[in-house]
C-alpha cells in the first residue's frame, strides 16, 4: 500500500490526519505566529518555496484552480460538463463544501514542503522542526479579533469625519510586512531581509505566469499582471495602501460582527439554503420585497464582502478569477470555513434539500477537481459534499471546539458570543465592553519574524522595542502571550508559547466603553437592529461589483467612487463576488438562469452614532424616528469592476428594502419590513444619477 505522503504528492486530498496520524486545531494567524514560532518559521519557508514552483502542486497551479488560468488542473474536466472555464463554486449551495477539500489540498501540500525543509536542519534542530511540522494546520484570519489598541478611522465623531474605537481590527501585521526574519537550515541561524510570502505573490515565468490572453484580459480590467496588491493606487502599484485597508476593515466592523453571530445561530438562517449561498433561494423579486428576514448569507454578507474589504477596488482579492493568488485568500477562507463549522455545530441535522425526482442529490455531486483517489491525470474518484461534511477526517478542528461539549448548544452559544459580543452594540448588549482575555491583541512584533538587522545586530522594530510609543498605549491592552489563555489556546498548547513575547502595558480606554454587566432590560429607544437589504441580478456587471449604502445628505456624499470605502457616512456594502462569463462557465450558466443575489447590510451602528451626536436629527431607533430619517439620509451607489460608477436605476433587477429585527422583553425576536421607506426615497429621487 502506498504511503499517504506519496499519495498526496500525486494531488489526492488525503488530509492531515492521514499524513500525521493526528487531529490538531486551526488557530488564528496571530495565535499561530506567537504560540508556535517553529511551526510558523517552517510555514513561511514552505510557502515561499511553493510560490517559486510552477508545477502541478506549486502555488501558481493550486491558486489557479479557483479562477484563472482557464485550463484544466491535472486534466480534470469541468464541473458543468463542458470544456470551458473554471471550477467556480460561487452562487451555488456547494460553496462551503467545495472550498473545504480545496483548503485541505493546499494545507497538506504546504505540510509536505515543511517536512522536506525540516529535514535540511542539523541536529538537534531537525527533530524539533519535524515535530513542529506535524502540528501545522492552516491558520484562519479572524476579522473580529483585535490586532492592536485604539484606532481612528472614517466615521461620525466629535470632529465630524473621524471616529475612534478602543481596539484596532486591521489586517494582521505579518500580512503587511514586506521583509521578515527567519531561522534557516542547516544551523538555525537567523536570516534577515527575506521576502515575506504573505505579502504578495509575484507572477513570473519562473514562478508561474498567466497566459498572454489572460494577462491582457485582467490588464484591461485594471488589475496588475506582475503581482497581487491590496488597495492599489493603479494597475502598476506594487505596494498595499495600508491606511485605506485598515480604514475599510474597521469601518462597519461592528455591524458585520453582529451579523456573523446571527448567521451562525439565529433562526432565519437555520437551513443550508438560507446560509450557504447568496442566491435568492425563492428566485422571486416579489417575495424579496415582502420578506423581512434572512437576506444575508455566509457567502455574500461575510465571504464576498470581505473579499473586497481586504482587496479593495482593483485589488486581486476583489475578483474570483484572481483572488486565490493573494496569500491572504487562504486565511480568509479558513475563517469562512470556521464560521460554517460553527453553523454546522448549531444545526447538526441540517443538510442539502431533497432533490427533484430523477435528479442526482446535490450532496452526491463531484467537487471537482479534488481527488479522493486517483488512477491517472483526470481520472479517479472525487470528493462530494457528504465527504466534506466533517472537519476531523481532514485532520483539523477549530480551536473554539477544543474542550467544548458541542452537544450543549446553549453553552456553545455563550462560549462563542462571549468572544465577540463585547465589540458590538445590540438591544440586548447596548454598550461596548472589554474583550475577554483570549481576545486581547497579541504583541506579534516582539517575535523573531519582525527583527531587523542594524549594524550587524538584531533589532526589534520601534513599535515592538518601545511599545508605549505605539498607538496601543492609548487604549486597550496587548496580551502577555506567555499564557495560553491570552493567546486563545487550550491548555495543552500553552507549553509551545515562547517566553520571548512581551506584555505591553495599556491605559484604560474610555471611548465607547462600559463596565460589563448582566444583559439589561430592553430599552424602548433601542429595541431593534436595522438593515438595508438588497437583491440584484448576479450577472449585472459581468464580473464583480459593489453596492455601497450611505447615511448622509446629498451634498455631504463624495461623488468619487475611489473614496466610497473611506466615507464617514458609509453604512454598509454588498459585494457581488461574480466572475465574467468569458472565463467562468458556472457564471455563464447562472446568468442564463437569471439568478439573483441577495444580501443584507446592518446599519445600526451608524444610526446609533447619529443618535449620540446632538442635533443630527435622530432621536432614537424607534420606527417613528428612523423611518423619516432614512427617507432623508439613505442613499446607495453601485460600482462595477474597473471602479466604474453605475447609475443604480440601470443595474438589472436591483431592489432595495429596509427591515428590522425587534427585540422583545421576553427574549423573543420578530422581524419587520418597511417598504414605504424605499418607495418614498425613490419618489423623491433626483433624475440625475449620483445626486
- Residue 691's closest CA among 548, 568, 540, 556? 556
Q: What is the pLDDT of residues 40-74, one digit of tens each?
A: 999 999 999 999 999 999 999 999 999 999 889 99
**Which residue's entry shows cell 492521514?**
18
Concatenating the DSSP letter of every residue in 487-527 gives HT--GGGGGGS-TTPPPB------TT-----SPPPPBTTB-
pLDDT at position 78 is 57
Residue 354 per-residue DSSP state? P
Report angle CA 402, 408, 411 to the nearest 5 degrees.
75
pLDDT, position 348? 97
Show the domains of the chain with their CATH numbers: 4-496 (1.10.1280.10), 528-684 (2.60.310.20)
Is the Cβ–Cβ distance between 316 and 235 less than 8 Å? Answer: no
Distance CA 432, CA 428 (A): 12
Cβ pair 149, 470 in contact under 8 A = yes
Distances (CA, A) of 236 to 219, 220, 248: 10, 12, 22
What is the pLDDT at residue 288?
59
- Which residues are within 8 A (CB) of 87 and not within 5 positions of it... i.e. 6 or more apart? 65, 66, 73, 76, 78, 79, 98, 368, 369
Class of residue 665 by CB neighbours under 10 A (exposed 0-12, middle 13-18, buried 19+): exposed
Which parts of the chain sit beneath pLDDT 50?
A: 79-83, 282-283, 462-477, 480-517, 519, 689-691
- At residue 290, the pLDDT reads 55
Instruction: Report the half-sphere exposure of 197 (CA within 13 A, side-chain side).
Output: 20
**Which residues, listed in sequence order, are joined to residue 529 by a DSSP beta bridge?**
661
Q: Determine the Cα–Cα distance for residues 407 and 634; give it in Å rounded to an integer.
A: 43
Using alpha carbons only, give the angle 73, 75, 77 rounded to the nearest 5 degrees: 90
pLDDT for residue 593: 87
pLDDT at 651: 97
Q: What is the pTM of this model?
A: 0.91
**pLDDT tens digits for 260-301?**
999 999 988 999 999 999 987 544 555 555 555 668 999 999
Nearest residue to 533 (alpha-carbon basis) of 629, 601, 623 = 601
Q: Residue 259, SS3?
A: helix
CA dihedral 156, 161, 165, 171 (to 10 degrees): 120
Cis peptide leading into 186, omega within 30 of 0? Answer: yes
What pLDDT sits at residue 461?
A: 56
How many angstroms separate the Cα of 638 from the Cα of each of 397, 633, 635? Answer: 39, 17, 11
Reported as type and span, the H/E element at residue 637 is: strand 634-640
Which residue in the block uniquely carries the three cell numbers 418607495? 679
Amino acid at each position: 500500500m502506498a504511503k499517504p505522503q506519496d499519495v498526496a504528492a500525486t494531488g489526492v486530498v488525503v488530509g492531515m490526519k492521514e499524513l500525521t496520524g493526528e487531529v490538531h486545531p486551526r488557530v488564528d494567524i496571530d495565535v499561530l505566529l506567537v504560540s508556535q514560532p517553529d511551526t510558523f518559521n517552517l510555514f513561511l519557508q514552505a510557502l515561499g518555496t511553493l510560490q517559486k514552483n510552477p508545477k502541478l502542486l506549486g502555488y501558481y497551479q493550486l491558486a489557479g484552480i479557483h479562477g484563472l488560468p482557464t485550463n484544466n488542473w491535472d486534466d480534470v474536466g469541468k464541473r458543468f460538463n463542458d470544456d470551458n472555464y473554471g471550477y467556480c463554486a460561487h452562487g451555488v449551495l456547494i460553496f462551503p463544501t467545495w472550498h473545504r477539500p480545496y483548503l485541505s489540498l493546499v494545507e497538506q501540500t504546504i505540510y509536505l514542503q515543511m517536512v522536506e525543509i525540516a529535514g535540511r536542519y542539523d541536529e538537534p534542530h531537525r527533530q524539533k522542526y519535524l515535530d513542529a511540522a506535524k502540528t501545522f494546520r492552516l491558520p484562519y484570519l479572524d476579522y473580529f479579533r483585535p490586532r492592536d489598541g485604539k484606532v481612528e478611522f472614517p466615521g461620525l465623531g466629535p470632529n465630524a469625519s473621524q471616529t475612534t474605537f478602543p481596539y484596532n481590527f486591521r489586517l494582521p501585521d505579518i500580512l503587511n510586512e514586506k521583509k521578515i526574519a527567519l531561522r534557516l537550515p542547516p544551523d538555525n541561524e537567523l536570516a534577515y531581509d527575506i521576502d515575506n510570502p504573505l505579502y504578495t505573490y509575484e507572477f513570473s515565468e519562473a514562478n508561474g505566469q498567466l497566459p498572454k490572453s489572460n494577462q491582457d484580459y485582467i490588464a484591461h480590467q485594471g488589475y496588475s499582471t506582475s503581482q497581487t496588491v491590496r488597495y492599489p493606487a493603479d494597475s502598476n502599484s506594487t505596494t498595499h495602501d495600508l491606511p485605506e485597508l485598515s480604514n475599510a476593515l474597521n469601518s462597519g466592523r461592528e455591524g458585520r460582527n453582529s451579523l456573523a453571530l446571527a448567521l451562525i445561530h439565529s433562526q432565519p438562517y437555520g437551513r443550508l439554503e438560507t446560509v450557504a449561498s447568496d442566491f435568492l433561494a425563492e428566485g422571486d423579486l416579489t417575495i424579496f420585497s415582502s420578506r423581512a428576514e434572512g437576506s444575508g448569507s455566509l457567502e455574500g454578507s461575510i465571504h464576498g464582502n470581505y473579499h473586497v474589504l481586504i482587496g479593495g477596488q482593483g485589488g486581486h482579492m476583489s475578483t474570483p478569477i484572481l483572488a486565490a493568488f493573494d496569500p491572504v485568500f487562504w486565511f480568509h477562507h479558513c475563517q469562512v470555513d470556521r464560521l460554517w463549522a460553527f453553523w454546522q455545530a448549531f444545526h447538526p441535522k441540517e443538510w442539502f434539500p431533497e432533490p427533484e425526482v430523477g435528479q442526482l442529490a446535490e450532496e452526491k455531486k463531484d467537487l471537482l477537481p479534488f481527488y479522493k483517489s486517483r488512477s491517472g491525470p483526470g481520472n479517479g474518484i472525487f470528493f462530494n459534499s457528504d465527504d466534506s461534511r466533517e472537519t476531523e477526517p481532514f485532520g483539523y478542528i477549530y480551536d473554539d471546539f477544543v474542550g467544548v461539549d458541542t452537544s450543549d448548544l446553549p453553552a456553545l452559544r455563550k462560549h462563542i458570543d462571549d468572544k465577540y459580543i463585547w465589540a458590538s452594540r445590540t438591544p440586548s448588549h447596548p454598550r461596548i465592553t472589554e474583550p475577554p482575555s483570549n481576545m486581547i491583541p497579541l504583541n506579534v512584533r516582539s517575535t523573531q519574524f519582525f527583527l531587523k538587522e542594524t549594524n550587524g545586530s538584531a533589532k526589534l522594530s520601534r513599535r515592538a522595542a518601545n511599545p508605549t510609543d505605539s498607538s496601543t498605549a492609548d487604549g486597550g491592552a496587548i496580551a502577555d502571550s506567555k499564557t495560553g489563555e491570552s493567546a486563545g489556546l487550550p491548555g495543552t498548547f500553552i507549553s509551545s508559547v515562547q517566553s520571548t513575547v512581551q506584555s505591553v502595558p495599556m491605559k484604560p480606554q474610555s471611548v465607547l466603553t462600559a463596565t460589563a454587566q448582566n444583559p439589561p432590560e430592553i430599552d424602548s429607544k433601542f429595541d431593534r437592529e436595522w438593515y438595508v437589504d438588497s437583491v440584484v441580478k448576479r450577472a449585472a456587471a459581468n464580473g464583480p461589483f459593489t453596492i455601497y449604502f450611505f447615511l448622509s445628505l446629498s451634498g455631504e456624499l463624495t461623488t468619487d467612487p475611489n473614496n466610497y470605502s473611506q466615507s464617514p457616512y458609509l453604512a454598509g456594502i454588498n459585494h457581488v463576488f461574480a466572475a465574467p462569463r468569458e472565463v467562468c462557465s458556472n457564471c455563464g450558466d447562472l446568468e442564463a438562469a437569471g439568478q439573483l443575489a441577495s444580501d443584507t447590510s446592518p446599519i445600526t451602528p451608524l444610526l446609533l452614532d447619529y443618535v449620540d451626536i446632538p442635533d443630527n436629527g435622530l432621536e432614537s431607533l424607534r420606527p417613528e424616528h428612523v423611518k423619516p430619517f432614512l427617507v432623508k439620509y439613505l442613499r446607495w451607489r453601485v460600482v462595477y469592476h474597473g471602479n466604474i460608477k453605475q447609475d443604480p436605476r440601470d443595474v438589472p433587477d436591483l431592489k432595495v428594502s429596509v427591515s428590522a429585527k425587534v427585540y422583545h422583553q421576553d427574549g423573543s425576536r420578530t422581524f419587520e419590513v418597511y417598504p414605504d421607506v424605499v418607495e418614498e426615497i425613490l419618489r423623491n429621487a433626483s433624475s440625475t444619477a449620483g445626486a
